[in-house]
Chain A
Amino acid sequence: DTAVSQTPKYLVTQMGNDKSIKCEQNLGHDTMYWYKQDSKKFLKIMFSYNNKELIINETVPNRFSPKSPDKAHLNLHINSLELGDSAVYFCASSPQGRPDQPQHFGDGTRLSIL
Protein backbone atom coordinates (compact mmCIF):
# COMPACT_ATOMS: atom_id res chain seq x y z
CA ASP A 1 0.00 0.00 0.00
CA THR A 2 2.94 2.30 -0.70
CA ALA A 3 1.73 5.80 -1.54
CA VAL A 4 4.53 6.95 -3.88
CA SER A 5 6.75 4.23 -5.25
CA GLN A 6 9.84 4.58 -7.38
CA THR A 7 11.81 1.95 -9.22
CA PRO A 8 14.58 1.10 -9.17
CA LYS A 9 15.79 1.98 -5.68
CA TYR A 10 19.42 1.78 -6.79
CA LEU A 11 20.84 2.34 -10.25
CA VAL A 12 24.52 1.90 -11.06
CA THR A 13 25.52 2.45 -14.65
CA GLN A 14 28.27 3.74 -16.87
CA MET A 15 28.73 7.18 -18.33
CA GLY A 16 27.03 7.58 -21.67
CA ASN A 17 24.24 5.09 -20.99
CA ASP A 18 20.52 5.87 -21.13
CA LYS A 19 18.33 4.96 -18.15
CA SER A 20 14.79 5.43 -16.89
CA ILE A 21 13.30 5.80 -13.43
CA LYS A 22 9.64 5.04 -12.89
CA CYS A 23 7.27 6.61 -10.39
CA GLU A 24 3.72 5.73 -9.47
CA GLN A 25 1.38 7.17 -6.87
CA ASN A 26 -1.83 5.57 -5.61
CA LEU A 27 -3.06 8.61 -3.69
CA GLY A 28 -5.27 9.93 -6.46
CA HIS A 29 -3.20 13.11 -6.64
CA ASP A 30 -3.22 15.36 -9.70
CA THR A 31 0.30 16.77 -9.34
CA MET A 32 3.61 14.96 -9.49
CA TYR A 33 7.22 16.15 -9.22
CA TRP A 34 10.79 15.10 -9.81
CA TYR A 35 13.55 16.37 -7.52
CA LYS A 36 17.31 15.88 -7.55
CA GLN A 37 19.21 15.73 -4.26
CA ASP A 38 22.98 16.01 -4.60
CA SER A 39 25.70 14.83 -2.27
CA LYS A 40 25.38 18.02 -0.23
CA LYS A 41 21.71 17.24 0.36
CA PHE A 42 20.55 20.17 -1.75
CA LEU A 43 17.02 19.30 -2.90
CA LYS A 44 16.19 20.89 -6.25
CA ILE A 45 12.96 20.74 -8.23
CA MET A 46 13.36 19.49 -11.78
CA PHE A 47 9.86 19.02 -13.17
CA SER A 48 6.25 19.23 -12.13
CA TYR A 49 3.23 17.79 -13.89
CA ASN A 50 -0.42 18.49 -13.19
CA ASN A 51 -2.84 15.97 -14.66
CA LYS A 52 -0.28 14.91 -17.30
CA GLU A 53 0.58 18.49 -18.27
CA LEU A 54 4.04 19.96 -17.69
CA ILE A 55 3.82 22.84 -15.22
CA ILE A 56 7.37 23.39 -14.01
CA ASN A 57 10.46 22.76 -16.08
CA GLU A 58 13.47 24.13 -14.28
CA THR A 59 16.86 24.62 -15.86
CA VAL A 60 17.58 20.99 -16.49
CA PRO A 61 19.68 19.62 -19.38
CA ASN A 62 17.50 18.37 -22.20
CA ARG A 63 19.06 14.95 -21.65
CA PHE A 64 16.39 14.64 -18.96
CA SER A 65 12.92 13.97 -20.32
CA PRO A 66 9.89 13.39 -18.11
CA LYS A 67 6.91 11.45 -19.35
CA SER A 68 3.49 11.20 -17.76
CA PRO A 69 1.32 8.53 -19.41
CA ASP A 70 -1.44 9.22 -16.89
CA LYS A 71 -1.78 11.29 -13.75
CA ALA A 72 -0.69 8.41 -11.52
CA HIS A 73 2.65 7.96 -13.27
CA LEU A 74 5.60 10.24 -13.92
CA ASN A 75 8.69 8.62 -15.35
CA LEU A 76 12.10 10.18 -15.88
CA HIS A 77 14.32 9.22 -18.79
CA ILE A 78 17.94 10.30 -18.85
CA ASN A 79 20.07 10.13 -21.99
CA SER A 80 23.86 10.08 -22.21
CA LEU A 81 24.43 9.91 -18.48
CA GLU A 82 27.25 12.04 -17.07
CA LEU A 83 29.22 11.83 -13.83
CA GLY A 84 27.41 14.90 -12.50
CA ASP A 85 24.09 13.09 -12.76
CA SER A 86 25.04 10.97 -9.75
CA ALA A 87 22.49 11.89 -7.08
CA VAL A 88 19.33 10.71 -5.40
CA TYR A 89 16.23 11.38 -7.47
CA PHE A 90 12.94 11.77 -5.61
CA CYS A 91 9.48 11.59 -7.04
CA ALA A 92 6.68 13.32 -5.11
CA SER A 93 2.99 14.05 -5.45
CA SER A 94 0.43 16.42 -3.99
CA PRO A 95 -3.35 16.62 -4.39
CA GLN A 96 -3.56 19.61 -6.75
CA GLY A 97 -0.14 21.19 -6.36
CA ARG A 98 -1.54 23.99 -4.18
CA PRO A 99 0.96 25.71 -1.89
CA ASP A 100 -0.83 24.61 1.29
CA GLN A 101 -0.83 20.94 0.31
CA PRO A 102 1.99 18.72 1.56
CA GLN A 103 4.05 16.78 -0.90
CA HIS A 104 4.40 13.04 -0.45
CA PHE A 105 7.80 11.74 -1.47
CA GLY A 106 8.89 8.36 -2.74
CA ASP A 107 11.88 6.63 -1.17
CA GLY A 108 14.26 7.88 -3.84
CA THR A 109 16.40 6.34 -6.57
CA ARG A 110 20.11 6.39 -5.88
CA LEU A 111 21.86 6.86 -9.22
CA SER A 112 25.59 6.25 -9.41
CA ILE A 113 27.52 6.87 -12.59
CA LEU A 114 30.78 4.99 -13.04
Chain B
Amino acid sequence: GQSLEQPSEVTAVEGAIVQINCTYQTSGFYGLSWYQQHDGGAPTFLSYNALDGLEETGRFSSFLSRSDSYGYLLLQELQMKDSASYFCAVDDKIIFGKGTRLHILP
Protein backbone atom coordinates (compact mmCIF):
# COMPACT_ATOMS: atom_id res chain seq x y z
CA GLY B 1 0.00 0.00 0.00
CA GLN B 2 0.91 3.65 0.07
CA SER B 3 1.56 5.55 3.26
CA LEU B 4 3.49 8.43 4.72
CA GLU B 5 4.48 8.77 8.34
CA GLN B 6 5.38 12.00 10.07
CA PRO B 7 5.19 13.05 13.72
CA SER B 8 1.86 14.54 14.70
CA GLU B 9 3.37 17.37 16.75
CA VAL B 10 6.74 19.01 17.31
CA THR B 11 7.58 21.82 19.73
CA ALA B 12 10.59 24.13 19.44
CA VAL B 13 11.81 27.47 20.74
CA GLU B 14 11.92 30.68 18.75
CA GLY B 15 15.32 31.11 17.10
CA ALA B 16 16.11 27.40 17.27
CA ILE B 17 16.32 24.73 14.56
CA VAL B 18 13.74 21.98 14.10
CA GLN B 19 13.62 18.93 11.88
CA ILE B 20 10.37 17.30 10.73
CA ASN B 21 10.81 13.77 9.46
CA CYS B 22 8.81 11.89 6.87
CA THR B 23 9.02 8.25 5.86
CA TYR B 24 7.07 6.94 2.94
CA GLN B 25 5.95 3.77 1.28
CA THR B 26 4.63 4.12 -2.23
CA SER B 27 4.51 2.16 -5.45
CA GLY B 28 5.44 4.93 -7.88
CA PHE B 29 7.83 7.45 -6.40
CA TYR B 30 8.97 10.55 -8.25
CA GLY B 31 9.80 12.93 -5.42
CA LEU B 32 8.90 14.30 -2.01
CA SER B 33 7.14 17.63 -1.54
CA TRP B 34 6.58 19.74 1.54
CA TYR B 35 3.67 22.10 2.17
CA GLN B 36 2.93 24.53 4.98
CA GLN B 37 -0.57 25.24 6.24
CA HIS B 38 -1.46 27.89 8.80
CA ASP B 39 -4.65 27.47 10.81
CA GLY B 40 -7.63 28.36 8.67
CA GLY B 41 -5.43 28.79 5.62
CA ALA B 42 -4.59 26.93 2.45
CA PRO B 43 -1.58 24.66 2.00
CA THR B 44 1.32 26.46 0.36
CA PHE B 45 4.23 24.81 -1.42
CA LEU B 46 7.63 24.87 0.28
CA SER B 47 9.94 22.47 -1.54
CA TYR B 48 10.35 19.43 -3.77
CA ASN B 49 13.13 16.83 -3.78
CA ALA B 50 13.46 14.35 -6.62
CA LEU B 51 17.11 13.48 -6.01
CA ASP B 52 19.00 12.48 -2.90
CA GLY B 53 20.49 15.30 -0.92
CA LEU B 54 19.71 18.62 0.65
CA GLU B 55 17.88 21.49 -1.05
CA GLU B 56 18.08 24.87 0.64
CA THR B 57 15.65 27.74 0.27
CA GLY B 58 16.33 30.51 2.73
CA ARG B 59 15.65 29.37 6.28
CA PHE B 60 14.04 26.16 5.06
CA SER B 61 15.88 23.10 3.75
CA SER B 62 14.57 19.73 2.63
CA PHE B 63 16.42 16.44 2.45
CA LEU B 64 15.70 13.19 0.65
CA SER B 65 17.17 9.72 0.82
CA ARG B 66 15.49 7.51 -1.77
CA SER B 67 17.26 4.37 -0.58
CA ASP B 68 15.84 4.90 2.93
CA SER B 69 12.42 6.15 1.73
CA TYR B 70 12.98 9.06 4.07
CA GLY B 71 13.07 12.80 3.99
CA TYR B 72 12.96 15.73 6.33
CA LEU B 73 12.21 19.42 6.43
CA LEU B 74 14.65 21.57 8.36
CA LEU B 75 13.56 24.96 9.64
CA GLN B 76 16.26 27.29 10.95
CA GLU B 77 16.06 30.51 12.97
CA LEU B 78 12.50 29.70 13.90
CA GLN B 79 10.04 32.57 13.99
CA MET B 80 6.62 32.66 15.61
CA LYS B 81 5.06 32.88 12.15
CA ASP B 82 6.44 29.41 11.41
CA SER B 83 3.80 27.96 13.75
CA ALA B 84 1.75 25.90 11.33
CA SER B 85 1.16 22.37 10.10
CA TYR B 86 3.68 20.87 7.71
CA PHE B 87 2.75 18.12 5.26
CA CYS B 88 5.01 15.86 3.27
CA ALA B 89 3.56 14.49 0.05
CA VAL B 90 4.53 11.97 -2.61
CA ASP B 91 3.37 12.37 -6.10
CA ASP B 92 2.27 9.01 -7.39
CA LYS B 93 -1.32 9.82 -6.66
CA ILE B 94 -0.61 12.94 -4.69
CA ILE B 95 -0.63 11.32 -1.29
CA PHE B 96 -0.23 13.65 1.65
CA GLY B 97 0.99 12.74 5.11
CA LYS B 98 -1.23 13.54 8.07
CA GLY B 99 0.76 16.64 8.88
CA THR B 100 3.04 17.75 11.69
CA ARG B 101 1.79 20.51 13.90
CA LEU B 102 4.75 22.78 14.79
CA HIS B 103 4.42 24.72 18.04
CA ILE B 104 6.92 27.49 18.66
CA LEU B 105 7.58 28.78 22.15
CA PRO B 106 8.84 32.32 22.74
Interface residues of A (CB under 8 A from B): 33, 40-45, 48, 56, 58, 90, 92, 99-100, 102-108
Q: What are 5 A-B pairs with beta-carbon distances under 8 A?
A: A43-B87, A58-B93, A90-B42, A105-B43, A106-B42
Inter-subunit contact A100/B98 (CB<8 Å): no
Interface residues in B, total, Cβ within 8 A: 21
Inter-subunit contact B98/A41 (CB<8 Å): yes
Inter-subunit contact B45/A102 (CB<8 Å): yes
Inter-subunit contact B43/A48 (CB<8 Å): no
Q: Which of B42, B50, B85, B95 has the most CB of A within 10 A?
A: B42
Known contacts A41-B99, A44-B96, A45-B95: does B50 contact A99 (CB below 8 Å)? yes
Interface residues of B (CB under 8 A from A): 30-31, 33, 37, 41-45, 48, 50, 85, 87, 91, 93-96, 98-99, 101
Expressed in whole angstroms, the Cα–Cα distance for A45 and B90 within the complex equals: 12
Chain B residues whose CB sits within 8 angstroms of the CB of A56 once the complex forms: 93-94
Expressed in whole angstroms, the Cα–Cα distance for A44 and B33 within the complex equals: 15
Expressed in whole angstroms, the Cα–Cα distance for A56 and B94 within the complex equals: 10
Inter-subunit contact A100/B50 (CB<8 Å): yes
Expressed in whole angstroms, the Cα–Cα distance for A45 and B44 within the complex equals: 16
Expressed in whole angstroms, the Cα–Cα distance for A104 and B46 within the complex equals: 11
Least CB distance, B41 to chain A, in whole angstroms = 7
Inter-subunit contact A100/B99 (CB<8 Å): no
